[in-house]
Structure formats: structure tokens, C-alpha cells
Amino acid sequence: MATAETPESKLATNIDAQFAWLAGEMDYSRRKAPYEEKRERLSRDPEDPQSVFAFMNSYWSRFRTFNNALHENVSQDLATKALQYHAKVVAGICDKVALSFWLEARGQGTPEDQIDQEVIVSDSLVLVRAALAESPYHISQLLPMFDAPFEANPMGQAILRLHEAYHSNPTDTETLRALALGGAAGGVQML
């Protein structure tokens, strides 16, 4: 007997597979753009085309384009592209948790070449997984956000608050980490 599809089952994926993928994507991102570059993007105004917000918003916009196209023409290619762009946004917000660890280490005077970046990615994902249990969102609240602009979902809201918090006090890594964790937990729930 087939079970009825629920909002929860539409988004249900293997959490271990999600986190394994996120670790790989965060490692790739770190090699492509070092944390110093990510810090620089966070220091910019969100409206700046080189800011973290603008960068991640562009991925969200591409996700929405492919996701909307799926409503008209269901195809594996469109679904793959939509998932790929959405997952890049989720990995990006998870990466801001790692950035907070990197900023903390640099603030304590640790030379960049002595920061174990694999450890900060791993530690970040442990915290994101724990934050899932405390997420204030129910999946039914998240489903409508797929069609919303980036600033209207937990990830976009967190990025905007990260920009604000960094401008206010770039050394307050606890606040930066907490904001990133909230957005990351909502993002992982949306995968």
C-alpha cells in the first residue's frame, strides 16, 4: 500500500548524505575562495555585487528559475540544476559557521597556515546538525519559502544579519556563529 505524500516526505532526504555532501562542498568552496576572501565579502554592504548576500542571492535566483521551470516541464535536468543551486546556498550559509571559527582563530593570533581548516569545517557541521534539533521552523513553514525572494527565507535573513553583525563588531564571533547556525539549520531543513 502506498503512503500519502506529505510536505515532510517531499523534502525528506538522508541526513548523513546531506552532511557528507555539505562537507565536500565546503571544502571545495574553501579551496576556491579562501576565508580571507569570504571575510572581505562579508565586510561589504549587502547591496554590493561582491558581497556575501549578493553572491548567495544569485545562486538562490538561479535555483528559483530552475525550480519554477519544473512547474511547467518536469525533467531530471531541471530538477538536478534546481537542487544543485539550492544546495550551494545551503553550503554557503554552513560555510559562514566555519568562517566564524576562522575569524576567532585569526583574532586570537593564530597564523592562517596553522588553522586546521578541515577541523573547522567538521566542527561547523557538528554544530549545524545540533542546531537542527533547535530550529524554530516546521517544514510546512519552509515550503512556501521556495518561491520567495532570498531575503524572505532563513538563509537570506541570516546572511543579512551576518552582514549587519560583522559591520557592528567583526570580532564578535559568537554572534556571527549563532546567526549562521540559525540560517544553516533552516537551510538544511529545506534540502
Q: Which residues lie closer than 8 Å to 174 by C-beta, 6 or more apart?
A: 100
According to the model, what pLDDT value does residue 11 have?
Answer: 40
pLDDT at 5: 46
- pLDDT of 160: 97
Local confidence band at 21 (pLDDT 50, 70, 90 cut-offs): confident
Query: CA-to-CA distance for 30 and 12, rounded, in angstroms?
Result: 28
Residue 35's alpha-carbon distances to 21, 61, 97, 123, in angstroms, are 20, 24, 11, 16
Give tens-digit pLDDT for 117-147.
999 999 999 999 999 888 888 888 888 888 8
Predicted TM-score of the model (pTM) = 0.86
**For residue 118, what are the contacts with CB-CB under 8 A and spacing of at least 6?**
27
Residues 6+ apart with CB under 8 A from 113: none
In this prediction, residue 55 carries a pLDDT of 94
Instruction: Judge residue 92's burial from the number of C-beta atoms within 10 Å of its C-beta, 0-12 exposed, 13-18 middle, 19 or more buried.
Output: buried
Ordered by start, the domain boundaries in the chain are: 14-190
Output the pLDDT for position 13.
54
